[in-house]
Amino acid sequence: MLVEEYQEHSGVVDGSLSVEYAYDDTAPAGIYTKGMRPKSVQYPDTTRTVHTLYLDAGGGSGIGDKISRVTALSAVDSRPNETSVYAAYAYNGRGRIVLETQKNAGSTVAELDYYQGTAWAAGRSAGLR
C-alpha cells in the first residue's frame, strides 16, 4: 500500500518533497471495518491536506459510508458544512457519478453533469439549475 511518494519539481528527486497517503485503519477485534479505504492525501507544502469523505452532507453516516462511496473531497476530515468542501458528488445507483460540484470557499464554481452528458461552468450554460 502506497504511504509516501517522492517528487521534485526541478532536477533530481532528493527526498525533500513528498506526497503522503493515509488510510482508514479502523480495526476493532483485528478486522478492518472500513477496508483500509483512502482517508487523506497530504501535499508537499505540508499545509494542504485533502480528505476523502464518505459522509453525507451535514456529517451523517449514510449509504456513502456503508459502501465506501466517496461523497466529497474536503479540507477537513468531517462534513459539518460545505465551506471546506472542494468537490461534492451525487450518484445514480451504487457507483455512477451523475453530478460533480466543484467549490471554492463554499461557493459553486463549476458543475459537471455526467447524466446528461454535458459539462459546464456555473453560470455559463442555459441548462444551469
Segments making up each domain of the chain, as ranges: 1-44, 48-129
Rounded Cα distance, 113 and 45, in Å: 32
Q: Identity (one letter) of the amino acid at 15? A: G
**Residue 70 burial (C-beta neighbours within 10 Å; 0-12, 13-18, 19+):** middle
Averaged pLDDT, 107-128: 59
Residues 38-84 pLDDT 10s: 999 988 876 778 888 887 765 666 788 888 888 888 888 877 667 78
Rounded Cα distance, 103 and 89, in Å: 11
Residues 22-49 pLDDT 10s: 998 888 888 888 888 899 998 887 677 8
Whole-model pTM? 0.73
pLDDT number for residue 91: 83
